[in-house]
Every structure is written in C-alpha cells, then in structure tokens.
Amino acid sequence: MSEMNDRELFALLDQAVIHAGENPEYASGKRIREMMHTIIKLARDKADPGEQKLISRSLKEMRYALKVFKQYPGRRISIFGSARTPEDHPDYIACVKFSKALAEAGWMVITGAGDGIMRAGHGGAGVDKSFGVSISLPFESSANDYIQGDPKLINFRYFFTRKLMFMWQSQAVALFPGGFGTQDEGFEALTLIQTGKAPMVPIVCIDAPGSNYWHHWQNYVQHSLLDNGWISEEDLALFMITDDHQDAVDHIQHFYRNYHSQRFVFDTMSIRIKRAITDSQLEQLNDEFGSLVKTGKITQGPALKQEREHNELPRILFESHKSQYGKLRMLIDKLNDFDTINHPDV
C-alpha cells in the first residue's frame, strides 16, 4: 500500500474507534486502533486460514473472559491440583477447608472447572465465590456440577489463553498435589514471577495433614535446581509449603497486610502500600535490600505522575535492575512485618 493509502486507512480506523466510544487521540483509543491495524496486517501478510482462526479465537476468548471477570471485583486466587483426586481423599478435604476459609475472608476462587481438586475448590468456596475456566478436552467433562451453567464459567479452546487468565486475574496461587498439569501451572507461575513477567503474588503449596508431596518436590528444587545453580537462594522465598490449610490462608492474608500492588514506570519500581513506613524502617530497607537498586536509594513518596491507579496510596520507590525478584518478595515480606503491634492486620 502507498503512504497515502495508509493515511486513508488510519483515518478509517480512527472513525471506527470513535464509533466504538473511544477517542483516537487518547492512549486507550490509540491501543484499539493499533489492535485493528495488527489484524489488517494479517491480511497483508497473507496469513493462512489456520493462523487467522487461532488469532481470532484467542482474541474472542480473552475479550469474553475479561468481560466476565470485570463484573466481579475483589481479590481472587487460582487453585491448581489433580482432576483425579476423589472426594474422600485427604487432599480433596484439605482443599475444601482451604477454599472455604479463604472465601469467608472475602476472596473468590478460580479453578479449571473440572473434577478433583477443582471441584473441591468450588465446593469449599461456594458457587457464588467461584469462577471456572474450562478447557475443551476429549477425555474430561467440561465442567463440574458446582459451576456448570453458572455465568462465571468461561470455556476456553486454547491452553495458553486459559493459563494467561489464571495468572492475570488472580492475586494468589494455591497448588495442591497433582500431575503434569499441576507441575506445569506451578512452575509457570514461579517462572513468570521470578522473571518479573507477572506481578508478585503469594504462592502456597498445600499438602493434606501429614502428607509430603510438596516436601518431595522441594527436595528436587533444592538439590537439582538450587545446588546446581539453576535458581538463586532467594527464589525459595517465592513459595510457601504447608500441610495446614489455615497457615496457607494466613500467609496469603499477611502478604496483603501492607503491600497493595506494584508497577514499573520505566525503570522505577513503584510499590503501593496501604500505610507509610517510618524513616528508620526505610533505612532498614536500604540496608537489607540495597542490591535491588540500580542507582540511588529506596525512597518513599506519593504516586508518580505517570500512574493513574490508587494514587491515594504511598509508594516505595527505587530504580530497579529488574532482577532478583525472590529478594523483592523478601522486601515485601519485610514491609508487611513492620509495626505488627501498632498496625493490626486489615
């Protein structure tokens, strides 16, 4: 296409953006226009029918999922575990107790909507507090009896869009014993957080009382990964193992005691906190976590001008190496541990 035709195309796309209720001069409208332009590029690239179907269906799945989740604000946890776990198994019972306790604390649960641990998560939390993200498989039923027919059940064709929603829409991850799928989902969550590709969230590995599934797994992580230098010592802080469901609930709740959320503004890490810390506590952060800082020091201040969300909250700010995320988790734990007596959990 010529340059003039490209200008005409963008003029048409701008009109489409306006008809959609957005302003093409604003960032939101520009992103909508960019997405439409990308689709048009597929036609220019002569994408084959299979490629077109993959991208089209992926966009449809993600759009619909976001629409559903947006209707139910609040904190959510993704629960993973075996679809083969029977109702009378200690793991199933532990999951029911865990999800019930977390729902009573105000959380909603997301599971894969199948049987086993997924059904236990829905049964414990109750259908009003449950989301199901189902995947079409030839050898498993599409959804368990708790979530079947519920408006919070979302059906996916592709694993990658489904897995994206698990991480994108949850503020915690719980892992119960399971097979390849559970291991895949657990390692993916750890990898995304370890590399900074997903925000920090608590990851709890939960056994039934007296079981040792996750301790066997930790032995592998310790001796095959850490001892060989494939991960760092600080990466062990990214997960917690327990056989007490209430300990897991308390761990998740404590993670959000003062910490609220995080984002990057260019190279600056902005950690939003609910309560400001003292000068001496800030000095302690610099003493213990200075290696996270590329230049300067860890400071405390208001929202940066580029931020648009939660601007009423104070910030912990520093120029980041964008690495050592296990140590960043330790910094967040320190923030949550400050002033335990004077500031009870909220």
**pLDDT tens-digit map of 20-77:** 999 999 999 999 999 999 999 999 999 999 999 999 999 999 999 999 999 999 999 9
pLDDT band, residue 136 (cuts 50/70/90): confident
Contact 108, 75 (CB under 8 A): yes
- List, for residues 62-113, the tens digit of each pLDDT value: 999 999 999 999 999 999 999 999 999 999 999 999 999 999 999 999 999 9
- Whether the model clears a pTM of 0.75, i.e. scores above it, the answer is yes
**Has residue 344 got a pLDDT over 50?**
no
HSE, side-chain direction, 13 A CA sphere, residue 127: 11
Whole-Å CA distances, 119 to 111, 114, 161: 8, 6, 21
Instruction: Please write the tens of the pLDDT for every residue from 242-276.
Output: 999 999 999 999 999 999 999 999 999 999 999 99
Q: How confident is the model at residue 339 (pLDDT cuts 50, 70, 90)?
A: confident
Closest to 232 (Cα-Cα) out of 273, 194, 181: 194
pLDDT-derived band of residue 8, with 50, 70 and 90 as boundaries? confident
Q: Is the pLDDT of residue 342 over 60?
A: no
Q: Are 158 and 165 in contact (CB under 8 A)?
A: no
| Annotation: CATH topology of 73-255 | Rossmann fold (3.40.50)
